């Protein structure tokens, strides 16, 4: 009886954990920022923009279409003025 109960509990746990790992869509791989921060913007037409901000590299912009294919990739060199360190508050007024 005890073994049957444990087996049923493990079986239930297996079904609930399997349901959480459903792949909805996959796109191309991209490097995650080690310094700075990133933003992902979802547009109404299905496009997605990935912005990666860093103090050394500036701003990396990647635009994906609704099928998750890369449309545009551009690096912008930014001058931040006299910032002591990168801050998310400095970019909050952009969007």
Per-residue pLDDT tens digits for 70-94: 899 998 887 766 666 555 555 544 4
Per-residue pLDDT tens digits for 34-64: 778 888 999 999 999 998 888 777 888 999 9
**3-class state of residue 63 by DSSP:** strand
- C-alpha 38/C-alpha 50 separation (Å) is 7
pLDDT at 55: 75
Residue 40 and residue 52 in contact, taking contact as beta carbons nearer than 8 Å: no
pLDDT at 2: 78
Give the pLDDT mean for 21-28.
Answer: 69
- C-alpha 72/C-alpha 64 separation (Å) is 7
- pLDDT value at 21 more than 70: no
The residue among 69, 29, 32 whose CA lies nearest residue 47 is: 69
Which residues lie closer than 8 Å to 41 by C-beta, 6 or more apart?
Answer: 48, 49, 51, 95
């Amino acid at each position: 009886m005890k073994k049957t109960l444990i087996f049923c509990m493990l079986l239930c746990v297996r079904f609930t954990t399997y349901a959480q790992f459903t792949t909805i869509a996959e796109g191309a791989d991209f490097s995650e920022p080690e310094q700075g921060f990133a933003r992902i913007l979802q547009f109404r037409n299905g496009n997605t923009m990935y912005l990666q901000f860093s103090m050394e590299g500036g701003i990396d912009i990647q635009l994906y279409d609704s099928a998750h294919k890369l449309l545009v990739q551009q690096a912008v060199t930014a001058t931040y003025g006299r910032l002591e360190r990168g801050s998310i508050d400095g970019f909050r007024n952009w969007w």
